[in-house]
Each structure stands twice: as C-alpha cells, then as structure tokens.
C-alpha cells in the first residue's frame, strides 16, 4: 500500500484511521510526502526551516503511533508542486 500526500500531516489527518486498520494486513506500507511543508500561512520566513522540521518529526511520530513505517520526504517546495511535474 502506498500513500502519497502533498504535506506533512495530510497522511494522518484524513486517512490515518484507515491506514492504521490496513497496516497489519498489508504486505508493505509506504508513506511518501512530496513537499517540505515550509509555507504554512502565518509562519515567518525566518522560522520556516524550524517549522518544517517540526512537521516532519510530528509525521514520523504519528506514523509510529499508528504502526506505520516512518514517512519518506521528497522535500519539494511547498505550494510549488504544479510547476514541478517531472519531479
């Protein structure tokens, strides 16, 4: 089973319960998060790197609680996926 999301926390906010139920019976689960999660509204540019690190840590902690493997992060620019189709 593969889960692809745009931002850290998208993988648990909606489908987290379903993932938790399917993880024990799935042959493998892989969570892939496309963006770096830095461009949240209200986050100052000078705080973006710390904010993104915290979001990645929270996603990894949530995965552990749900019994999922740690997510993989592509680190593509948040709010910039439309212009990076090839990646």
Distances 75 to 26, 33, 49, 67 between C-alpha atoms, Å:
26, 8, 11, 23
| Alpha carbon distance 54, 63 (integer Å) | 14
Distances 68 to 2, 28, 63 between C-alpha atoms, Å:
11, 9, 5
| Alpha carbon distance 2, 16 (integer Å) | 13
Mean pLDDT of the chain: 82
Its pTM stands at: 0.79
pLDDT digits (tens, 9 = 90+) for 65-83: 888 888 999 888 887 777 7
| Alpha carbon distance 16, 63 (integer Å) | 9
């Amino acid at each position: 089973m593969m889960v692809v999301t745009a931002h850290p926390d998208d993988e648990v906010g909606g489908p987290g319960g379903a993932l938790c139920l399917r993880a024990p019976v799935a042959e493998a689960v892989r969570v892939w998060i496309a963006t770096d999660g830095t461009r949240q509204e209200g986050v100052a540019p000078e705080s973006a790197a710390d904010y993104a690190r915290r979001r990645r840590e929270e996603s990894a902690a949530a995965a552990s609680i749900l019994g999922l493997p740690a997510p993989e992060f592509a680190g593509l620019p948040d709010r910039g996926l439309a212009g990076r189709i090839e990646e």
